[in-house]
Structure 1
Amino acid sequence: MVALTLTPPSAERLRAVDEFLTEAWADQARHDSRLRDLAVEVGFDRGVAHLTGEVGEPDDLRLVRDRVGRLAGVLGVWCRVRVGGREPVVVDLGCGATKQWPGNLGLDICPAAGVDTLADLSSTLPLADGSVDVLFAVHILEHLIDFLPLVDEAHRVLRPGGTLHVMSPWWGHVNAVADPTHVRLLDVQTIKGICLQRPPGAPRWHPLHAGCDGASIFADLTPLPPDAPPPTQAHLARFFA
């Protein structure tokens, strides 16, 4: 029960962490020759890295993501970066009136100011196979009795190298149970289960990042093709017990 001792950081501490991360990234970018010429801007908001700008190749974006994600204190790496001149297709699942970024495509079951397309997230998403670069599932999974069909749909619609960003209340915080519409409790170990404990033939995921700040859990997942090797134990040890 050690996890129950987690205390969400104060607003003051979050500001200090963001300041530290900003300085740490600037120092790393100066000293890593691979990063100097990449036109990617990295900002930090409450421990979440926000990447914008443009790179020439997918490998360039993977490099920046990986380097940012290795900084101590980063909870997630959210990207809206053009690759080879192409604007990414970014979709907010269950966005309601507020999207994570203006310009995202908003899907929700109820009409609201930020909703572009009505969609039941417990059913098939109205998106073509391999058509999306980034999916946001922010405060969504906890509202679904069975969220695995949505996770499988996310795997279907993401392009190779695409990312599913998850944010949900941590089960040990009051926010997880204060909302009576929450029907599931989640932990970072839940993300481990999504990646490693699915039955044979189920869509497979590689965790790019996973963490908890004492109030919420965060995860960045990318789809794995059926024949891809599983994540290494060294990689998994960064995030999971």
Structure 2
Amino acid sequence: MVATGMTAPSAQRLSVVDGFLTEAWADLARHDDRLRALAVRVRFDRGVAHVDGEVDDPAELRLVRDLVGRLAGVLGVWCRVRVAGRDPVVVDLGCGGQKQWPGNLGLDIHPAAGVDAVADLSGSLPLADDSVDVFFAVHILEHLIDFLPLLDEAHRALRPGGVLHVMSPWWRHVNAVADPTHVRLLDVQTFKGICGQRPPGTPRWYPLHVACDGASIFADLTPLSPTAPAPTPTHLARFFD
């Protein structure tokens, strides 16, 4: 949850936190029988956990995401993990010339070296239903006057258990207003509304992780089916006021 007067951590502080998280995860992996046999690697970069490797079952990946996300100081759990021998389909939205990981599919409205398909992110995405495992929307939502259609499109294209990773400037940080192309301000509570009560028939999301470091908002969301139960108040209280 966001605290009033929060300031962004220094690079030195983030480095120390990454060191703590690395030790904490190694200790957890040694002592949790569910993790010992899993061929996954977890690396921490400025509070974001980067997970890769391979698991046999989607439930194992969900377990890793959940346990990593419970560590104090984790801002997001970004993953690129093979499941049952299949490489994940990972899409960078608005990637420009630089993708989050090499090999991702890059979508952007402007052609560039890293763009695999030109697409207007305010409209329909050129992706089939249930075809994507992971979406990255890094510094994208703040550029869209109405970003809910993009979230709805990501919801449509994600496979069950897929994840949408979001990173955007926090509304109280100077980065949110320093760029004149930013047209939206975001907060942790913005994602409470996205994951809360929405009109019947509209796509629903389950928050795997939502956090703020004083400069940026991070959110890991997974789609809910129309018949799935809503997130419980106990789970929502992990992230939202």
Task: Tell me if both proteins adopt one fold, taking TM over 0.5 as the criterion.
Answer: yes
Residues 125-161 of structure 1: per-residue CA shift (max 9 Å, x gap): 0000000000000000000000000000000000000
Equivalent residue for 1:188? 188
| Distance (Å, rounded) in 1 between the aligned partners of 2:197 and 2:95 | 28
The corresponding residue for 2:47 is: 47
Q: Give 1:4 shift.
A: 4.3
Q: 1:201, 1:102 → 2: CA distance?
A: 36
**Counterpart residue identity of residue 221, structure 2:** L
- AA at the equivalent of 1:234: T
AA matched with 1:114: G
CA distance in 2 between counterparts of 1:3 and 1:112 reads: 39
- Residue 216 of structure 1: CA displacement? 0.2
* Residue equivalent to 1:170: 170
Runs of 5+ unmatched residues, structure 1: none
2:130 corresponding residue in structure 1: 130
Q: State the partner residue of 1:234.
A: 234
State whether residues 109 and 118 of structure 1, in contact with CA within 8 Å, keep that contact through their aligned partners in structure 2.
yes
- Counterpart residue number, 2:179: 179
Work out the CA distance in 2 between the residues paired with 1:11 and 1:17: 10
Count of residue pairs brought into register by the alignment: 240
Deviation at 1:59, TM superposition (A): 0.7
SS of 1:34's partner is helix
Give yes or no for the alignment of 1:79 onto 2:69: no
1:61-111 CA deviation, whole Å, 9 max, x = no partner? 011111100000000000100000000000000000110000000000001
**What residue identity is the alignment partner of 2:126?**
P
Alignment of 1:18-167 (within 5 A): 18-167=18-167
1:197 Cα shift?
A: 3.3
TM superposition shift of 1:3:
4.0
2: CA distance, partners of 1:45 / 1:200: 39
Between the aligned partners of 2:17 and 2:58, the Cα distance in structure 1 is 29
SS at match of 1:5: coil
**Deviation, structure 1 residue 23:** 0.1
Alpha-carbon RMSD: 0.8
For residues 228 and 199 of structure 1, what CA distance do their matches in structure 2 show?
Answer: 15
AA aligned to 1:70 is R
Percent pairwise identity: 80
The letter of the residue matching 2:202 is A
How many angstroms apart in 2 are the aligned matches of 1:198 and 1:105?
30
- 8 Å CA contact 1:51–1:77 kept in 2: the answer is yes
Q: Does 2:9 match 1:13?
A: no
Q: What SS class does the counterpart of residue 24 from structure 1 fall into?
A: helix
User: 3-state DSSP class of the match of 1:91?
Assistant: strand
* Contact map agreement 1:4 1:172 (CA 8 A) in 2: no
Residue 201 of structure 1: CA displacement?
Answer: 1.2
Q: How far apart in 2 are the matches of 1:104 and 1:17?
A: 28
